[in-house]
Amino acid sequence: MQHINMLNEFKLIINGQSCLGEAGELDIINPATATLAARCAKASIAQVDQAVTAAKAAFKGWQRCSHEERKSILHKIADGIEKHAETLAELIVLEQGKPLALAQMEVQGAIGWTRYTAGLDLPVEIIEDSEQKRIERHYQPLGVVASITPWNWPLMIAVWHIMPALRAGNVVINKPSEFTPLATLKLCEIIQQEVPAGVISIVVGDGEVGEALSSHPDVQKVVFTGSTRTGQHIMSGAVKTLKHLTLELGGNDAGIVLPDADLDQIANRIFDMAFLNGGQTCAALKRLYVHESQYDALAQKLADIANAQVVGDGMAAETTFGPVQNKLQYDKVKALIADAIAQGAKALSGNQMLPEQGYFIAPTILTGLDDACRVVQEEQFGPVLPILKYQSIDDAIARANASEFGLGGSIWSQDLKAAQFYAAQLQCGTVWINTHAEVVPHAAFGGWKMSGIGAEFGLEGLLENTIGQTLHINKN
């Protein structure tokens, strides 16, 4: 992968042109080694303004493209992602750390999501069609969309933001996480080959660049995936110009295992969905409530799975579990585990030999703790799962709901009717039964409470990139 070590591979794209950053360079760290992986162009505030100006000009023509033309372009973009799949997967491993097989899944997901979005149609609703009058409801593009993406799924989430916006007729400026811009830069390079100049731009930088973009008066919509705190800041900055917002924010998803659950059947899936991407997934299972009759048995099964993981560099064939993406998050997760143990929690796993360099934490199963513990109250966003004991299901539901977050939740049971009854009582945007964290392009996904506003995916997600316009036609 030495060929991806050069700065000229990692330039910004503004108004159809690759360009150096006026604010210098960013060091991109490989989390598996904690060493420099690449350098990337860093945008100035003036370059953010240039990108918005170019986008605004490009919107005039792009919004007039036919639906069929935009569909065709999205399919060509999917072809381009497919063509560069190997490079994209390697870039994801280099900057994000996940095992190569998971990075390849991320690339395949990006292709599938792009193709699904290409096939969506914007509806025209007929409200009235009488002798005197016809009323239609149309959905028009908004204009310039600012997309701000996180470091956990850098390619996939960029696709989630960008493709519906383009399909609806908007123009997009992406600001990836300063920790993981490389795969997203490659994605925007692929998109740029299929669209007019200015329809897609990408500016890389820290929070200052993100703020300049999200608060820009000529940006009509901001779509953001990340922390609740940053989402609140973006929302406050959107007030002056009443920007449209889609915010997918923090989550502290609870799973509840009913007493009838078959532990042999569910243990591996619970582990996979709690530790997906090393636990660095918004909708990963982050708190597990288990009936006292099965508590010890399930905790031990999960610990056995955790202890069998091979923790290491994502490019190594034997690795099943990669590093935490950055030092800040690594230190936070280590502190949460230490705090829980200081309060009497027991770590049933996490003692594997770890590489000497890099931000590695072995998957850690914690038992013997209560809901007041920080690792339960806060979103860990890392390789740790607290397991909590309950006696009555009503108590478990109440404790699951006693969070400021409401992104996802799950019920695990052989009795599907009972599971659905309890699922309806969980206060979250998505509830899964006998799985968790599974998202699909055709089902809307969004949060309740402090987990966000708006929805992504499916027709509902597409319509978030539009504004409704009612057309009255007087026939007389």
Asked if residues 100 and 436 have their Cβ atoms less than 8 Å apart, the reply is: no
Give per-residue pLDDT as tens, 237-288. 999 999 999 999 999 999 999 999 999 999 999 999 999 999 999 999 999 9
194, 248, 456, 464: the catalytic one is: 248
Task: Identify the DSSP state of 2.
Answer: G
Question: Taking the model in full, what pTM does it have?
Answer: 0.97
% of the chain surpassing 70 pLDDT: 98
**Span 44-54, mean pLDDT?**
98
188, 282, 373, 428: the catalytic one is: 282
Mean model confidence pLDDT for the chain: 97
Query: Could you tell me the strand order of the sheet in which 171-175 lies?
Result: 17-19, 12-14, 200-202, 171-175, 144-148, 221-225, 244-248, 452-453
Cα–Cα dist 388/408, whole Å: 18
Cα–Cα dist 377/287, whole Å: 9
Domains recognised in the chain with CATH numbers: 2-249+451-471 (3.40.605.10), 253-441 (3.40.309.10)
pLDDT interval class at 351 (50, 70, 90): confident
Residue 282 is among the residues annotated as catalytic for this protein: yes
pLDDT interval class at 4 (50, 70, 90): low
Q: How far is CA 462 from CA 27, 116, 155, 402, 453, in A?
A: 35, 11, 19, 31, 15
Q: Is the pLDDT of residue 3 over 70?
A: no
Give per-residue pLDDT as tens, 119-174. 999 999 999 999 999 999 999 999 999 999 999 999 999 999 999 999 999 999 99
Smallest CA-to-CA distance from 409 within 280, 264, 252, 304 is with 252
pLDDT of the residue at 476: 87
pLDDT of the residue at 269: 98
pLDDT of the residue at 335: 98
Residue 40 is among the residues annotated as catalytic for this protein: no
**3 state SS of 462:** helix
Smallest CA-to-CA distance from 404 within 171, 232, 244 is with 232
pLDDT of the residue at 416: 98
Smallest CA-to-CA distance from 451 within 379, 388, 397 is with 379
